Amino acid sequence: MPHEDILTFEEIFDLVKFAAEHGVNKVRITGGEPLVRKGIVSLVESIASIKGITDFGMTTNGTILDKFAVDLKNAGLQRVNISLDTTDPERFNIITRTGKLEDVLRGIDAAKNAGLFPIKINCVIKQHSQEPDARLVRTFCEENNLQVRFIKEMNLETGQFSVVEGGDGGHCASCNRMRITANGDLKPCLFTDLAYNIRKMGIEEAYLAAIQNKPSCGSINQKNQFSNIGG
């Protein structure tokens, strides 16, 4: 994506401020990997300053979290979700292609020391939470006072998604979430082609359109991949 197509921090701030003024009190920064964006701590600080935001978190793969945890906490971030699909070092390297488990474990420790609680571990599963890798993650979380959420592998094009075990994601009947993408598309549901761009429509018009057209249930998304709308 060309750099000029990516929302500036000021645009993100303006959207969140507008949303907070109209009832939103929970914000989570996700990606991709949000910690690789230059100046991420300043974005956290600006969002944390918005009146009405009472639940402020971030989803990260944790590989460089140890370098940011204290600064993020000081900037106003409250908690983190960390992706971890296995605690077997060899399996971790295979799943992530290049990752090192020790980096994530160091990030988890840093989050603990910084006071970014609760720390939630997101574990992607193929079929169920009794798979070998998932069982390793569950044991690790129980031993380290971490909350674990098992998320079944999803597919946008086929509409494959399910309720998150240990979390509240995937409950269409009670879902009140929206997703803003890097280029300004406000999506009322990940599993739909609907998107309302805040640059083209303006924040208020896009926000109201997303709210008014939120589907009762997710279906399929043939216009996006998780790489451009976030996991």
User: Cα(108)–Cα(102) distance, rounded to whole angstroms?
Assistant: 10
- What does the DSSP assignment read for 94-150? HHHSS--HHHHHHHHHHHHHHT--SEEEEEEESS-TTSHHHHHHHHHHHHTT-EEEE
24-153: CATH topology:
TIM Barrel (3.20.20)
The residues, any chain, with a CB within 8 Å of residue 79's CB and separated by 6 or more, are: 56, 57, 58, 116, 117, 118, 119, 120
Q: Write down the pLDDT at residue 197.
A: 98
What is the pTM (predicted TM-score) of this model? 0.96
DSSP-derived 3-state class of residue 175: coil
Q: Rounded CA gap, 229 and 231, in Å?
A: 7
Using 50, 70 and 90 to split pLDDT, how confident is the model at 36? very high
pLDDT of residue 1: 84
Gap between the Cα atoms of 203 and 180, Å rounded? 11
pLDDT at position 118 over 70: yes
CB hemisphere CA count around 213 (13 angstroms): 14
Residues 183-189: contacts with CB under 8 Å, at least 24 apart: 183/1, 183/5, 183/6, 183/7, 183/228, 184/7, 184/11, 185/229, 186/15, 186/210, 187/229, 188/213, 188/214, 188/215, 189/214, 189/215, 189/218
What is the mean predicted confidence (pLDDT) over 138-148? 98
Residue-level pLDDT at 86: 98
CA distances from 70 to 141, 195, 201 (A): 22, 35, 37
pLDDT of 161 higher than 70:
yes
Break the chain into its structural domains and give their ranges.
Answer: 24-153
Spatial separation of the C-alpha atoms in residues 132 and 99, rounded to whole Å: 19
Percent of the chain with pLDDT over 70: 100
Rounded to the nearest integer, the mean pLDDT of the chain is 96
Question: Phi and psi for 88 in degrees, rounded to 5?
Answer: -90, 120
Does residue 99 carry a pLDDT above 70?
A: yes
Q: Quick one: average pLDDT of 207-228?
A: 94
Structure confidence at residue 227 (pLDDT):
83
Instruction: Output the pLDDT for position 54.
Output: 98
Mean pLDDT in residue range 179-191: 96
Q: Which residue type does 123 have?
A: C
pLDDT, residue 230, reads 78
pLDDT per residue over 40-90, tens digit each? 999 999 999 999 999 999 999 999 999 999 999 999 999 999 999 999 999
CA-to-CA distance for 199 and 171, rounded, in angstroms?
Answer: 30
Q: Which residue has the tokens 């929970």?
A: 26
Q: Report the pLDDT value the prediction gives residue 231, as an integer from 0 to 100.
A: 62
Contacts with 2 (C-beta within 8 Å, 6 or more apart), sequence order: none
Q: Is the pLDDT of residue 186 over 90?
A: yes
